Amino acid sequence: MSTIPSLAALEAQVKERPLPRHVGIIMDGNGRWAEERGLPRLEGHREGSNSVREVTRAARRVGVEALTLYAFSSQNWSRPMEEVAGLMDLLREYLEKERKEILDNAIRLNAVGELDRLPRMVRTPLERLRDESSANRAMVLTLALSYGGQEEIVAAASRLVAAARSGTLPDRPLTPEAFAAQLWTAPLPPVDLVVRTSGEHRVSNFLLWQSAYAEFIFTDTLWPEFRAHHFLACLAEYQHRERRFGLTSAQLPK
Ligand code: FPP
């Protein structure tokens, strides 16, 4: 009879091999989770916040350096007004409720996206926690909020165009590294793993530039049901992938 390994056993197992430094998650399936239960969609997002808490704890415990969560896309502004308002309330609630745990666990809270589009009631606790946690080094938790990968690339290109126009752009060929330095995610480590829940096989404008060499894991589990052991199972699967970065298998260090 096969037994399901305990959370502690799974954690010990993934800690034995190199971990992805930076994991991005497309937290999809909240609406379907709620609809399957005859609940309002917002209840799916609410249950999804519990998954956020569990997965963040697990990532911190095993030693992932950076976790980026796709919480609200630039395109999500076009959802029904009540859903957008409910999500903004949830974000505010999350930032207030999780503040102590984030600070107690030396997590640095970061955010990427068109943050000036967020309502003040989200921006204020977000900026406060970002400032309060700025010296924390155990893990960086980035919320992608009002975020779009295309929007981010256009903003980076616009900054370079402005620098060129004003004569402050160094007169040397632009490299991928110099371009990446203009992205909102610039100081974060490269993205090693992107996970998308809910059975959809799309990137949906998430970390388009940064995921160039990331491994992808698509799981059928809906986000509100995706908990610590699902996350650890993704890390374990990542640890069995061979990352070649364009090389052949034989060229890789043994
Ligand atoms: C996509 O599922 C999910 C979102 C648009 C919002 C994600 C938000 C949370 C997980 C909760 C709040 C976040 C934090 C950080 C506390 P969907 O609504 O598109 O699901 P569906 O495809 O089943 O309709």
pLDDT in tens, 93-135: 999 999 999 999 999 999 999 999 999 999 999 999 999 999 9
User: Which of 36, 42, 45, 195 for mutating ligand 1's site (highest number of atoms within 8 Å of CB)?
Assistant: 45
Instruction: For the beta carbon of residue 249, count every other beta carbon within 10 angstroms.
Output: 7
Query: What are the C-alpha distances in Å from 125 to residues 52, 121, 155, 174?
Result: 18, 7, 25, 37
- pLDDT, residue 2, reads 61
Q: What is the pLDDT of residues 195-219, one digit of tens each?
A: 999 999 999 999 999 999 999 999 9
What's the 185 CA to ligand 1 centre distance in angstroms? Answer: 21
pLDDT at 246 exceeding the cut of 90: no
Q: Report the pocket of ligand 1 as residue ranges, CB < 6 Å.
A: 27-32, 45, 48-49, 52, 69, 71-72, 76, 90-91, 94, 143, 198, 223
Cα separation of 186 and 74, whole Å?
A: 19
pLDDT at 36 exceeding the cut of 60: yes
Mean pLDDT for 165-186 is: 95
Q: Whose CA is nearest to atom 13 of ligand 1?
A: 71
- pLDDT, residue 253, reads 87
What's the 107 CA to ligand 1 centre distance in angstroms? Answer: 22
Q: Which residues are catalytic?
A: 28, 76
DSSP string, the chain: ---PPPHHHHHHHHHTSPPPSEEEEE---HHHHHHHTT--HHHHHHHHHHHHHHHHHHHHHHT-SEEEEEEEEGGGGGS-HHHHHHHHHHHHHHHHHSHHHHHHTTEEEEEES-GGGS-HHHHHHHHHHHHHTTT--SEEEEEEEEE-HHHHHHHHHHHHHHHHHHT-S-SS---HHHHHTTSTTTTSPPP-EEEE-TT----TTSSTTTTTT-EEEE--S-GGG--HHHHHHHHHHHTTPPP-TTS-GGGS--
CA nearest neighbour of 125 among 172, 157, 78, 89: 89
pTM of the model: 0.96
- pLDDT, residue 244, reads 87
User: Which of 25, 26, 27 for mutating ligand 1's site (highest number of atoms within 8 Å of CB)?
Assistant: 27
What's the 64 CA to ligand 1 centre distance in angstroms? Answer: 22
For residue 212, what are its two tokens? 């160039």
What's the 157 CA to ligand 1 centre distance in angstroms? Answer: 29
Amino acid symbol at 141: L
Q: What domains appear along the chain, each with residue ranges and CATH number?
A: 19-237 (3.40.1180.10)
